[in-house]
């Protein structure tokens, strides 16, 4: 980052990068798809010729490759991801519009929960360093990092749905259906954030300005929350970008475990059925969201830590 | 510090870290069991016994049996072979890409370095596993693709570490000396610089193994990874999940493969952390 660069220029430059990245991803996946062995209608080889011809025309497969690319990119710019190859009468946009809000809700709840619990647990562990509290918190955190989220989900499912039927095992909508998926999706990130927060808080608490704050006679509570927190939280904030990527990814597994009809479920089914346009549309959407989210995180970061501001 | 003393300090620090030692011992034990499975297990991988479907754990079948009456413990150990093999292969692939990319960026410096690291920054924020799924949708779901694809996902951090080391080391006198003797750039990188950063490279590669194993489990759990008849810990857990219903909670089918995976990842993480701490402190 050049010194003296204005925030606007920085944001504009990042947006230019964003467009380039999306363009490269869209182009690469388009050509990958078209050179893939086997078409989307392979299972129905014995279709009458006229029908197959119509189908190919409907999905533009009868045009030249260059033409297909131009049509696809043109539609993409207008936000149209094309028809689904598997669900004949539905467009990718419709499928995403219907299922994405579910995944988004799940992901946002999990990310917020991980942030709040992780930051609190990490701070407490740092303040009570080398005590039983610290040791217990960090052991649980290590466990949380090592356990795959689907395993946590399956264990919760076995205990709280089958052994003690406290929660419904599948579906989405009621608060009861949301508890277990959110918990199992949030667990690994909570653990990671707690470890990050503890290390960073310990580092900050050993700095001279904290000694000064204590010497002024401030309560420990104020020292930690008002003075140390501001600096200690920066690594956690910069982790939120990769965390969002991981939450979106993890959501796919959790949706399968708890039979949630979100975008992740559709994505996996599309990948298994070779529904090219749906797979590609989902990948593009997720890439777009993450690039935007990362940009937002970087801008927020430059506000809380003016040292990195351009 | 001399080479010899440095090595001894490293070993001493590592030996003091009990969790890391226990983790290492666990991995050695798990590796031995997995290698010796055909010799020590009384059942074979595919041996079906339709009279013993869904047996809960007993003295005869320590981890119970599955829907076709196959011994689950045998299958868990065979699955471990694939899980660990993918973890190791992925780590090696990521090591090769990361080291090559990082050395070039760090050694070249300036504008090349800037652009190459900017690309890494961007890739960091992208949903890489989705690209792996995209590629597997297209080229088919084979083990070989899985081996390579997962390594390709994990090279970014390795590239950053190697680049950092490269920038630190390339200004040192021994590089100058090698250049004065007429060594080419590639010779300086391979013979003089890389051997001096083996420590961080090996430590990070150790931490990559559990990361890749977790990704393999993730894909296999979705049915997009290891395909039957082969199985891994992830695909065994996914298989087990299908058979769990409110009337028949065959918990052992998911708990044992999951626990095998989780305990191995746990041990590998402790081992890697211990190595890193011993190297850094």
Residue of A nearest to B250 (CA): A158
Alpha-helical runs (H) found in A206-275: 208-215, 220-222, 229-232, 234-257, 263-273
Chain A residues with CB under 8 Å of B246 CB are 162, 169
User: Cα(B166)–Cα(B117) distance, rounded to whole angstroms?
Assistant: 13
Measured between CA atoms, the residue of chain B closest to residue A270 is B137
- What confidence tens digit (pLDDT) does each residue in A247-256 have? 888 889 999 8
Span A128-136, mean pLDDT? 88
Other C-beta atoms closer than 10 Å to the C-beta of B199 total 17
Q: Which of A154, A246, A295 to mutate to test the interface with B (most CBs of B within 10 A)?
A: A154
Chain-centroid distance, C-alpha A93: 19
CA A7 – CA A299 distance, rounded (Å): 8
Give the mean model confidence (pLDDT) for residues A72-83.
81
pLDDT tens sequence across B28-54: 999 998 888 888 777 777 777 777 777
Q: Look at phi and psi of residue B73 and say left if phi exceeds 0, alpha if psi is from -120 to 50, else beta.
A: alpha
Could you tell me the CA-to-CA distances from A218 to A9, A119, A229, B30, B66 in Å, in that order?
A: 41, 22, 15, 52, 62
Residues of A with Cβ-Cβ distance to B122 under 8 angstroms: 17, 21, 291
User: Taking Cα atoms as reference points, which of A93, A90, A64, A59 lies closest to residue A78?
Assistant: A93
Q: For residue A36, what pLDDT band results from cuts at 50, 70 and 90?
A: low
Instruction: Tell me if the bond preceding B192 is cis, omega within 30° of 0.
Output: no
Please answer yes or no on whether B127 and A154 come within 8 Å at the CB atom: no
Comparing B257 with B67, the larger pLDDT belongs to B257
Could you tell me the CA-to-CA distances from A134 to A29, A126, A141, A163, A264 in Å, in that order? 47, 7, 10, 32, 36
Token look-up 């298994």 returns A272
Q: Above 90 in pLDDT, residue A190?
A: yes
Nearest residue of chain B to residue A256 (CA atoms): B222
Identify the band that residue A309 occupies on the pLDDT scale cut at 50, 70 and 90. Answer: low
pLDDT, mean over chain A: 82
A interface test, pick of B114, B134, B251, B274 with most A CB neighbours within 10 Å:
B134
CA distance A270 to A275: 5
Q: For position B123, what pLDDT does the model report?
A: 81
Q: Specify the DSSP class assigned to residue A306.
A: G
- Say what percent of chain B tops pLDDT 70: 98
Taking only residues 55 to 74 of chain A, the set having a beta carbon closer than 8 angstroms to any beta carbon of chain B reads none
Interior angle at CA A147, CA A130 and CA B133, nearest 5: 140
* Span B203-225, pLDDT tens digits: 888 889 998 998 888 888 888 88
Pick from A249, A272, A276: CB nearest B127: A249
Reported confidence tier of residue A43, pLDDT bands at 50, 70, 90: low
Task: Select the residue from B30, B114, B132, B137 to test the A interface by mutation, using most A Cβ atoms within 10 A.
Answer: B137
What integer pLDDT is reported at residue A112 of this predicted model? 94
Closest partner residue to B122 among A21, A257, A272, by Cβ? A21
Torsion angles phi and psi, residue A91, rounded to 5: -95, 160
Contact A249 B270 (CB under 8 A): no
Residues of B within 8 A of A27 (CB-CB) are none
pLDDT for residue A310: 46
Is A284 an interface residue toward B (CB < 8 Å)? no
pLDDT given for residue A41 in this prediction = 57
Coil/strand/helix, residue B186: helix
Q: What is the DSSP string of B46-98?
A: T---GGGTTPPS-SSSTT-B-TT--BHHHHHHHHHHHHHHHHHHHHHHHHHHH
Chain A positions touching B133 (Cβ under 8 A) are: 267-268, 271, 279, 283
Reported confidence tier of residue A1, pLDDT bands at 50, 70, 90: very low
- Asked if the Cβ–Cβ distance from B126 to A242 is below 8 Å, we say no
**Which percentage of chain A shows pLDDT scores above 70?**
90
Chain A touched by B144 (CB under 8 Å): no
pLDDT of residue A2: 45
Residue A3 banded pLDDT, cuts 50, 70, 90: very low
Answer whether A34 touches B (CB < 8 Å): no
Judge: A267–B130 Cβ closer than 8 Å, yes or no. yes
Judge whether A132 and B247 are in contact, CB under 8 Å: no
C-beta atoms of B130 and A291 within 8 A:
no
Mutation target among B126, B130, B260, B280 for the A interface, most CBs of A within 10 A: B130
For position B15, what pLDDT does the model report? 82
Q: How far is A245 from chain B (nearest CA, A)?
A: 6
pTM of the entire structure? 0.83
Q: What SS3 state is found at B203?
A: helix
The kind and range of the H/E element at B15 are helix B3-16
Q: Which of A46-55, A110-119, B152-161, B254-263 has the highest mean pLDDT?
A: A110-119
Reply yes or no on whether the pLDDT at B8 is more than 60: yes
Distance from CA of A46 to the nearest CA of B (A): 23
pLDDT attached to residue B97: 93
- The rounded distance, in Å, linking the Cα atoms of A33 and A54 is 21
User: Which chain A residues are within 8 Å of B265, Cβ to Cβ?
Assistant: 146-148
A–B: how many Cβ contacts below 8 A?
127
Range scoring the smallest mean pLDDT among A54-68, A191-205, B160-174? A54-68
Task: Give the integer Cα–Cα distance in Å for A274 and B14.
Answer: 49
Do B146 and B86 contact (CB within 8 A), yes or no? yes
From chain B, the residues in CB contact with A32 under 8 A are: 134-135, 138
Contact map slice: A 210-249 vs B, CB within 8 A? 241-242, 245, 248-249
CA-based nearest residue in chain B for residue A247 = B127
Q: Other C-beta atoms within 10 Å of A119: how many?
A: 20
Whether residue B62 lies within 8 A of chain A, CB to CB, comes out as no
Q: Kindly indicate the confidence band of residue A168, based on its pLDDT and cuts at 50, 70 and 90.
A: confident
CA B182 to chain centre: 39
CA distances from B196 to B12, B178, B202 (A): 20, 14, 12
> Dihedral sign, CA of B176, B181, B183, B188?
negative
Q: Do B261 and A143 touch (CB under 8 A)?
A: no
Contact B269 A146 (CB under 8 A): yes
**Percentage with pLDDT > 90 across chain A:** 15
Q: Which of A37, A40, A56 is nearest to A48 (CA)?
A: A56
Residue with tokens 């969201």: A289
Is residue B56 within 8 angstroms of chain A, CB to CB?
Answer: no
Q: pLDDT tier at A111 (50, 70, 90 boundaries)? A: very high
The C-alpha atoms of residue A152 and residue B22 are separated, in whole angstroms, by 23
Minimal C-alpha gap between B113 and chain A (Å): 14
Residues in chain A within 8 Å Cβ distance of B128: 245
DSSP, collapsed to helix, strand or coil, labels residue B265 as helix
The pLDDT of residue A120 is above 50: yes
């Amino acid at each position: 980052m050049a010194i003296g660069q204005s925030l606007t220029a920085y944001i504009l430059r990042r947006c230019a990068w964003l467009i380039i990245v999306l363009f490269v991803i869209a182009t690469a996946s388009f050509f990958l798809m078209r050179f893939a062995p086997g078409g989307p209608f392979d299972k129905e080889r014995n279709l009458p010729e006229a029908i197959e011809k119509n189908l190919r025309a409907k999905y533009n497969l009868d045009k030249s490759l260059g033409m297909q690319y131009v049509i696809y990119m043109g539609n993409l710019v207008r936000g149209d991801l094309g028809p689904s190859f598997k669900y004949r009468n539905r467009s990718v946009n419709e499928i995403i519009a219907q299922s994405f809000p579910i995944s988004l809700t799940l992901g946002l709840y999990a990310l917020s929960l991980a942030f709040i619990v992780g930051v609190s647990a990490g701070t407490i562990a740092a303040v009570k360093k080398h005590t039983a509290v610290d040791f217990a918190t960090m052991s649980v955190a290590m466990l949380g990092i090592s356990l795959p989220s689907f395993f946590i989900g399956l264990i919760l499912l076995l205990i709280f749905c089958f052994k003690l039927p406290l929660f419904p095992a599948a579906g989405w909508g009621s608060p009861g259906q949301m508890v277990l998926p959110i918990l199992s999706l949030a667990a690994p990130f909570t653990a990671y954030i707690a470890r990050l927060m503890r290390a960073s808080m310990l580092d900050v608490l050993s700095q001279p300005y904290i000694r000064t704050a204590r010497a002024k006679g401030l309560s420990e509570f104020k020292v930690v929350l008002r003075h140390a927190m501001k600096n200690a939280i920066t690594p956690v904030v910069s982790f939120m970008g990769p965390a969002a990527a991981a939450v979106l990814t993890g959501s796919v597994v959790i949706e399968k475990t708890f039979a949630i009809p979100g975008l992740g479920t559709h994505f996996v089914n599309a990948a298994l059925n070779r529904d090219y346009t749906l797979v590609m549309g989902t990948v593009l959407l997720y890439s777009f969201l993450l690039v935007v989210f990362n940009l937002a995180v970087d801008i927020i970061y430059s506000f809380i830590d003016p040292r990195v501001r351009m | 510090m001399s080479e010899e003393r440095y090595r001894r300090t490293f070993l001493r620090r590592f030996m003091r870290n009990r969790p890391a030692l226990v983790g290492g011992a666990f991995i050695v034990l798990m590796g031995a069991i997995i290698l010796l499975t055909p010799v020590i297990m009384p059942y074979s991988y595919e041996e079906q016994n339709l009279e013993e479907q869904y047996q809960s754990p007993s003295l005869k079948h320590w981890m119970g049996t599955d829907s076709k009456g196959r011994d689950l413990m045998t299958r868990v150990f065979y699955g471990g072979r694939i899980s660990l093999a993918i973890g190791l292969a992925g780590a090696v692939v990521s090591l090769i890409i990361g080291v090559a990319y990082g050395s070039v960026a760090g050694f070249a410096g300036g504008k090349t370095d800037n652009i190459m690291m900017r690309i890494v920054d961007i890739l960091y924020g992208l949903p890489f596993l989705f690209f792996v799924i995209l590629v597997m949708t297209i080229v088919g779901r084979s083990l070989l693709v899985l081996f390579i694809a997962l390594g390709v996902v994990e090279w970014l951090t390795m590239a950053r570490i190697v680049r950092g080391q490269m920038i630190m080391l390339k200004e040192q006198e021994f590089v100058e000396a090698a250049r004065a003797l007429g060594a080419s750039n590639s010779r300086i990188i391979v013979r003089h610089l890389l051997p001096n950063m083996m420590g961080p490279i090996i430590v990070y590669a150790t931490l990559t193994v559990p990361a890749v194993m977790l990704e393999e489990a993730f894909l296999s759990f979705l049915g997009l990874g290891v395909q039957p008849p082969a199985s891994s810990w992830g695909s065994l857990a996914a298989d087990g999940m299908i058979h769990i219903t409110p009337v028949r909670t065959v918990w052992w089918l998911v708990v044992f493969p999951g626990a095998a995976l989780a305990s191995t990842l746990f041990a590998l993480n402790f081992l890697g952390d211990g190595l890193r701490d011993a190297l850094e402190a």
